Amino acid sequence: MILDSSFLVDVLRGEATVRERVERVDERGTPAVSTITVMELAEGVHLSDASESEREAVERLLTDLTELPFDRQCALRAGRINANLVAAGEPIDETDVMIGATALVYGHPVVTRDRSHFDRIDDLDVFSY
C-alpha cells in the first residue's frame, strides 16, 4: 500500500480514525510512500511552526517506510493521467496525480483521507478511513 501524506499526518497527530487502518496496513506487509509524499511532508514541516521534535518524528516515520521513486515511467503515466483529467474538466492537485501514477506503476493501492482526488484516477484502488 502507498500511504498518502494525509494518512501520515493523521498518524503523526495520533488521530483515532487511523488506528484501525494502520492495523490493516500492517497486515498487508511493509507500507510504502512515493517520493512525492516525502516532499510533501518535508514541505509541510518547513512551512509550519513545527518544532525540532516534530521534524524528527516525521523523519523517524519515513525511516520505517519503503520509498518508491517517481521515475520516468511514473512521470509518463502521470502526464497521461493529468492530461485526461484536465481534458475532462476534472483536474486534481498534480502531486496527487504523481502519487496515483506511482501507485499504478508499482501496483499498489493508495491509503488516503482525501479520497475525492484519487477516485478520479482510473484503475487506481483507493482505501480511505
Taking alpha carbons only, the member of 35, 96, 91, 98 closest to residue 66 is 35
Read off the pLDDT of residues 32-87 as tens digits, 9 standing for 90 and up.
999 999 999 999 998 988 889 989 999 999 998 999 999 999 999 999 999 999 99
Point out the least confidently predicted range of 18-22, 66-70, 91-95, 101-105.
18-22
**8-state DSSP, 110:** E
Q: Convert 83-122 to b/e letters by CB count within 10 Å (16 or more is b).
A: eebeeeeeebeebbbbbbbbbbbeebebbbbbbebbebbe
| Residue 27 pLDDT grade (very low, low, confident, very high; cuts 50, 70, 90) | low
Give yes or no for residue 25 having a pLDDT over 70: no
- pLDDT at res. 17: 77
Residue 26 pLDDT exceeds 60: no
Pairing of strands 32-34, 126-127: unpaired
Q: Per-domain residue ranges for the chain?
A: 2-127
The class level of CATH for 2-127 reads alpha beta
Give the model's pLDDT for residue 122: 96
